[in-house]
Amino acid sequence: MRSNRKFNELRDIKVEVDFMKNAFSSCLIEFGLTKVICSVTIEEKVPRWLKGTNQGWLTAEYSMLPTATNSRNDREAIRGKLSGRTQEIQRLIGRSLRNCLNLSFLSDKLIKIDCDVLSADGGTRTTSINGSWIALNFAIKKLLNRKLIVNNPIKYGVSAISCGIISGKPFLDLDYDEDSSAEADANFVFDSFGNIIEIQCTGEKNVISEKNFTSMYNLAKRSVKDIYKIQSNVMEQIN
């Protein structure tokens, strides 16, 4: 059972922008011991099915370093294919961030977001979403300042967090040990107005009661306000 923080308390959150020198924009984001580099690349091309529409696109990729976890995992490039988990996570990141964009304001630009997990201690997908929104904002600021786009395509903030039920009680922002022992867990993605973008919820060991789901939802909705404040404070420091 958790002893170092309250059931409704977030882990320490740290953000360092411009972490990758060669990226168009980037940040290193930390939720406790989980650390993810989020980098943005801008390309002057869109998927074939979008050609001629004068609309941009955003896509995301996700990967973990071999030693990001307690036991080494082979790189997926060595295996020759992406795992189902990796595909699921990068699609979630892409969907969450496209949701906040007016893609027509990007013209024919493709935004690629790379999320590379340096250290995994639970919540890597939600940490990736939070960091990616910061890196995306940084990239859009650069595009506007360089007059490469005319209008800001970002409609609102995007923040995400995990919750779980452990021994019948709700807990916020699970670390790896907590996630491994949870009877149920969920990932919540909200916009900055408190609306749901996406929820992933699984009864790991049993069904999820309405009461338990509501308790996780309420924890998550309150906490993303604090996460968005941190994201916004980081953006205010960027010229």
Decide if pLDDT at 90 tops 90.
yes
- What distance in Å separates the CA atoms of residue 171 and residue 181, rounded to the nearest whole number? 12
Decide if pLDDT at 77 tops 70.
no
pLDDT band at 204 (very low <50, low <70, confident <90, very high): confident
Distances (CA, A) of 57 to 46, 106, 143: 6, 8, 15
Question: The domain 13-236: what is its CATH number?
Answer: 3.30.230.70
| Residue with more model confidence, 204 or 173 | 173
Decide if pLDDT at 78 tops 70.
no
pLDDT confidence of residue 73: 77
* Phi/psi at 24 (5° precision): -65, -40
| Residue with more model confidence, 191 or 81 | 191
> What is the domain partition of the chain in residue ranges?
13-236
- What number is the average pLDDT over the span 140-148? 96
Decide if pLDDT at 53 tops 80.
yes
Decide if pLDDT at 136 tops 70.
yes
- What number is the average pLDDT over the span 77-93? 83
| Model confidence pLDDT, tens digit, residues 166-192 | 999 999 999 999 998 899 999 999 999
pLDDT confidence of residue 239: 62
User: Tell me, what amino acid is at 198?
Assistant: E
pTM score:
0.94
Q: Is 8 exposed, middle or buried (0-12, 13-18, 19+ CB in 10 A)?
A: middle
pLDDT confidence of residue 207: 87
- What number is the average pLDDT over the span 30-57? 91
pLDDT band at 1 (very low <50, low <70, confident <90, very high): low
Query: What is the dihedral sign for C-alpha 17, 113, 80, 46?
Result: negative
Closest CA to 119 of 61, 41, 175: 175
Q: Are 187 and 197 in contact (CB under 8 A)?
A: no
Decide if pLDDT at 123 tops 70.
yes
